[in-house]
């Protein structure tokens, strides 16, 4: 079946290929049952690419990714690459994709499924009904800005340094995305930085304040220091709706929010670029928040649901298929209600299943929901 929708598959390393393989079963199901098909291309990234080509991503794979309508990404990295030159480490394949495609807006939802309330380390009354979204600026800040490096300053002493740099336009465009997302939710934005000790934070707060004044009609906005935000996520997470923050703090806070839900294996993410004014196309990549989990790689134990929920986000944000995204989300919820779980979300009295077994249940629920 031909399609004008191109999907680039980048499984990566560790458990990445396993969870991507299972998620593609749902892509096949959509083609057979919903007449939704994709032209699928696949490439190597991360350690898999380094092992074959000596680089974490080739120019050819990058070009294919940029030609696609969306990218479904697995995970990269592993201890075998710890001594590889820094610029050739697996993670730099992912960083290059983000930078070259200008994927500046990283959406990381944290939602607690009712049947997983007991999987969280927090009390049920704190997280029951939790549904928040962390919006992380992804292409600026300390992970990319110069100068950075390690220098020998003599006397057997070295210094290592990084730069947390943001410009007004970079902050404005992520702020606009935050406002747009909030308008479709409860209309509340919390802007997070460290304006008390960092000049980049002072600018962030200034720009967000002005942006809200000029373009934030109908949006309730609050400012919060990053350390306080981390505390509040654990203390009273349901006070938040959309949290917008920089690259470093977004990286940290999204992992903190992940454990509110009980497992990194449940959290999807979307990385979006600007809409091209000429073509109307938006670069987009979808990936689970969890890493490559080398300790369980190849054992068929990984939770595939974060990858599947990333596919759901892809349908929603890249292809405007809200009904199909809602269907997948509902099938995941019912699969969790059914009982069997992967090890990361295991509960007393539940049957333990592996990667394939978990997706088998989701596919059964998709059949039940559509018949």
Give the active site residue among 13, 194, 344, 365.
194
Give the active site residue among 255, 329, 330, 360.
255
The DSSP output letter for 56 is S
Give the active site residue among 13, 251, 286, 344.
251
Using only the alpha carbons of the chain, give its radius of gyration: 21
Is 194 catalytic? The answer is yes
Give the active site residue among 227, 241, 329, 360.
227
The DSSP output letter for 342 is -
Instruction: Tell me if residue 85 falls in helix, strand or coil.
Output: coil
Give the active site residue among 143, 166, 286, 317.
143
Is 143 catalytic? The answer is yes
Please classify residue 59 by burial: count the beta carbons closer than 10 Å to its beta carbon, then call 0-12 exposed, 13-18 middle and 19+ buried.
exposed
Is 251 catalytic? The answer is yes
How far CA 309 is from CA of 109, 241, 247, 251, in Å, comes to: 10, 19, 22, 19
Give the helix ranges, DSSP H, for the chain: 16-34, 47-53, 59-67, 91-100, 124-127, 168-183, 199-215, 226-235, 247-260, 305-317, 322-338, 355-370
Say how far apart CA 247 and CA 268 lie, in whole Å: 17
- Residues acting as catalytic residues: 143, 194, 227, 251, 255
């Amino acid at each position: 079946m031909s399609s004008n929708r191109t999907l680039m598959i980048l499984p990566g390393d560790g458990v990445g290929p396993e969870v991507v393989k299972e998620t593609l079963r749902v892509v096949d199901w959509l083609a057979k049952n919903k007449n939704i098909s994709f032209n699928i291309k696949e490439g190597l990234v991360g350690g898999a690419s380094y092992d074959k080509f000596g680089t974490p991503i080739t120019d050819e794979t990058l070009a294919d990714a940029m030609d696609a309508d969306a990218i479904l990404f697995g995970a990269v990295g592993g201890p075998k690459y710890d001594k590889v030159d820094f610029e050739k480490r697996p993670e730099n394949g992912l960083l290059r994709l983000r930078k070259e495609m200008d994927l500046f807006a990283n959406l990381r939802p944290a939602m607690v499924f009712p049947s997983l309330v007991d999987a969280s380390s927090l009390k049920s009354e704190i997280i029951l009904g939790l549904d928040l979204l962390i919006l992380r600026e992804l292409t600026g800040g300390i992970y990319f800005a110069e100068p950075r490096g390690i220098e020998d300053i003599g006397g057997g002493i070295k210094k290592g340094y990084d730069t947390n740099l943001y410009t007004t336009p970079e902050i404005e465009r992520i702020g606009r995305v935050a406002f747009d997302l909030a308008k479709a939710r409860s209309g509340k934005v919390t802007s997070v930085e460290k304006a008390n000790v960092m000049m980049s934070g002072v600018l962030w707060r200034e720009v967000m304040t002005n942006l809200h004044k000029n373009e934030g009609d109908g949006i309730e906005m609050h400012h919060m220091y990053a350390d306080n935000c981390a505390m509040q996520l654990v203390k009273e997470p349901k006070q938040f709706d959309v949290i917008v923050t920089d690259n470093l703090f977004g990286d940290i806070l999204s992992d903190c929010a992940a454990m509110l839900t009980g497992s990194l294996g449940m959290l999807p993410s979307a990385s979006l670029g600007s809409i091209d004014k000429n073509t109307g196309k938006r670069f987009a990549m979808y990936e689970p928040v969890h890493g490559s989990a080398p300790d369980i790689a190849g054992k068929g134990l990984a939770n595939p649901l974060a990858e599947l929920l990333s596919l759901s986000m892809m349908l929603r944000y890249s292809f405007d298929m809200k009904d199909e995204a809602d269907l997948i989300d509902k099938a995941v919820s019912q699969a969790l209600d059914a009982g069997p779980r992967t090890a990361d979300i295991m509960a007393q009295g539940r049957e333990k299943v592996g990667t394939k077994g978990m997706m088998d249940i989701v596919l059964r629920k998709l059949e039940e929901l559509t018949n």
